[in-house]
Each structure stands twice: as C-alpha cells, then as structure tokens.
Homo-oligomer: A and B are copies of this chain.
Amino acid sequence: MATTAKRSRTKTTRRPSTKPRTAARPRRSGAASPPIGNAVVGQSGGPTVVINQSLVGVIEQARKVAPIQRILGARHGVQGILDDDFVDLTRQSMATLEKVALTPAAALGSVRKKPSRDECLAMFETFRKHDVRYFFYIGGNDTAETANIVLEIARAERWPLRVVHVPKTIDNDLRVTDHCPGFGSAAKFVAQAFMGDNLDNRSLRGIKINVVMGRHAGFLTAASVLGRQYDDDGPHLVYCPEVAFDEKRFIADVKRVHKRLGRCLVAVSEGVHDKRGVTIAEKMAAKAERDAHGNVQLSGSGALGDHLAGLVRKAMPGMRVRADTFGYLQRSFAGVWSEVDAKEARLVGKDAVRYAMTARSGTVVLKRKRGKRYLCTTSLAPLNKVARLTKSMDRRFINRAGNDITPAFLAYAAPLAGKLHPVGRLRGM
C-alpha cells in the first residue's frame, strides 16, 4: 500500500476504501468481494516491543470495515484457537488500545506451538463454528507457515477465509520484506546498550564480550555498531552467524585490538557456528534443550558468553574479562523503542486488514523506496514466500575479514533504529 512510515498519506487512489458497508475496490481484477463474518487475530513467537502496535493496527482498521463483524482475539495464538479461548476486541476503548500499543510483549499472549495437520483442521473447525472469515496472524516465519496451512484447509473445504500474516521479529530474518517490524526497536536497544557498554569498557578497561540474539541472521548483532561515533568506539569486533566462527581467529582478533586500544568490546551473535555449521552453543551444551520447532535453545542462558570469556582468560592470563548476554531485554524492555518501527508496526497491522478487503490472503511486506530520504510502503506477498524460510544478512553488510560491519549496513539499518541517545566526550579524553 502506498503508505509511508514517516508521513502517512491518508488518501491515495491506490488505497482501498474503508468506508462501512461499501465493497472495497478490488486491487486485482477478478478479486471477489470480501466475505461478511468475524475476524480472529492472534500473536505468535517471541515478543517484540512493538508487536502490540500491529495488534492495535488490526483492531483499529477492522472496526472500520463493514464486512468484519466481531473481532476475536485468540489467547496465546493457535493455542487459543484450539481451546476456543478468545477475548472480544470489538469493544475495547481506544484509550486502552493506545496504551496497549505502547506496551511490550504480546497483549493477547503468545505461543511457540507448531500445530500438527490435525490441529490445523481443528483450528479451521473453530473458525467455521464462529463464522470466522478473516484470520490475522502476527508473527515470524513459523507463524506464516501455520497461517498458510489453515488457509489451504479452508480452500479445500471451500470456506471463504482470508488469511493475512503480519510480520514481526526482532531477528529481521523474514524473506521478501525489506525489514521486519520489531527489528528497529530491538536494534535501538542493542545500539544503546553498546554505546553505554563501550563507555563502561573505556572507563574500566579490559575485554568485554556481549552476546546478542539472532539464531541464523546477524542483523541484531550488526546493530551493535549503530552508535559508534569516535574512531576508538566499540564494538571493535562483531561476529555474525553468516560467517563461520573460528575460536583461534577470535583470540587473535581480540589480542590485536587490545594491543592497539588497551581494551576490546566484542559483539557476538548467539547463533555463531563453526565452518561445519555447528553452533558454539550446541558444542557446549551437552544436553541442549530444543523447542517445539526443533530449534536449540540459545537464549536465556549465559553459557556462550562465559565460554568465550573463558577462552580469552586462558589466552590472556590476568586480563579483566567479562561477558554479558543481553537476553530477553532486547525484545521486551519497557520504554525503549524506535519511532519509525512503532509506526510501521501499526501500519502493517492496518494494511493487513486493507489487503484482506481487496486481495484475499498473503503476507504484508515492507518495501523501501529508493532515494535519500527513508520511505517505506507496504505490499502483499504470497504466504508461501515467507512461510518456514528465513533470510540471512547480505554478505556486503559484513567486512571481508568477517569480524566487523560495513557502512552499507549502517545505511540500511540506521533509519530503522531511529534517533539514538546522544553521548559526549570531554576534550582531551
């Protein structure tokens, strides 16, 4: 949709009408009129600080369009649909909704459950029972996959159901979309954490290692560099999962930086792995816990940071070495968010409803306009282009040595994180 993140154009010819009781102008010729019935909205996967902006966007827009009668919020995503456990969102006050929009984590509750085919059938039966014609599911690639399966079942059952996936993830690893709502705010948190920790490390010198979230994609780890201002600002080394991690090279890198600056600040992704693809975390964890999607648990543990700190201590005896694992603060800290991210998260929620009125099903994606000024619009992509798959960082965002981030990434990510807290330095220090 021709909607900008920074300046919303409220009326354009390309935007479908949202007037009550008026059939929406079809985006593609041959699109059927939107069915009349109820809508279900749910949230899934790891929370972000702006995921509720998308939820409120869906509710706000769904209330405006005639074909949608009631809006049912599924408690804890697919679990709520399976348990017939809904909260009525039709009559929440806008004051409550605006407060919820600024509240981190999933206001409806989230879930990591990957429903089986039978469970997807059961979900569909719940939809049929409640005359649900619209399903808006806010989440990552696993969420898109679930949405796609339910859609296929509805089609096979000849039940008019429009399913729109609303993207969300701090990892920024969804395909097709330029970036994901949730990433910008997490990037801002990580950038400001590194700005502070760089100054901390400058105050009390030593080797400091910070482990950043990101299983397969290094976007969030790369965001650690967004606050660098001076030549000696850290992080001085950045390791993303896109490049094989070599412990010997890591130690050599740290020693080199320490020799030059008398200190070293390192950003490392929780998902770093060796050249065979085995994560360092996997190597260490004898009994690695796996979640329902078959992923090894990387977050919620300080093990990787402690392991790397141990390597440095061994290689540099007597050195002051510390490791922090940023953990869930990156995705849920209250009070730090990116303005652009919040606006876009609201937008993709609203546009999900707009697309459901005109273009049936799909996943909302953000498209960045070329030009000096940052500007994003949305469009709708097929669900199966996003479902299950993930995206890694472009190799041009990482330097040749594989231990730092390039200016190309700054150009990409700085507008998403938005304004960072300004910091200063004394003359002569």
Contacts and interface: CB of A to CB of B under 8 A. Distances in A.
A422 B268 CA distance: 32
A326 interface: yes
A329 to B, nearest CB: 5
A346 to B, nearest CB: 15
B92 A427 contact: yes
Nearest to A287: B313
A305 interface: yes
A91 B43 CA distance: 56
A276 to B, nearest CB: 26
Given A104-B200, A421-B334, A429 B329 contact: no
Interface in A312-370: 321-329, 331-336
A100 B195 CA distance: 13
B100 A425 contact: yes
A255 interface: no
Contact of A111 (B47, B196, B204): B204
A302 B302 contact: yes
Indicate how many identical chains form the complex.
Answer: 2
Given A111-B204, A302-B301, A324-B325, A105 B334 contact: no
Interface string A199-232: 1101110001000000000000000000100000
B302 A323 contact: yes
A162 interface: no
Contact of A105 (B199, B305, B322, B323): B199
A121 interface: no
Contacts of A112: 204
Interface residues of A, number: 72
A382 interface: no
Given A196-B334, A204-B111, A421-B335, A426 B302 contact: no
Contact of A200 (B227, B331, B425): B331
A99 B322 contact: no
Contacts of A200: 47, 104-105, 328, 331-332
Contacts of A324: 300, 302, 325, 327-329
Interface of A: 43, 46-47, 49, 73, 75-76, 87-89, 92-93, 96, 98-100, 102-112, 192-193, 195-197, 199-200, 202-204, 208, 227, 299-303, 305-306, 309, 321-329, 331-336, 420-429
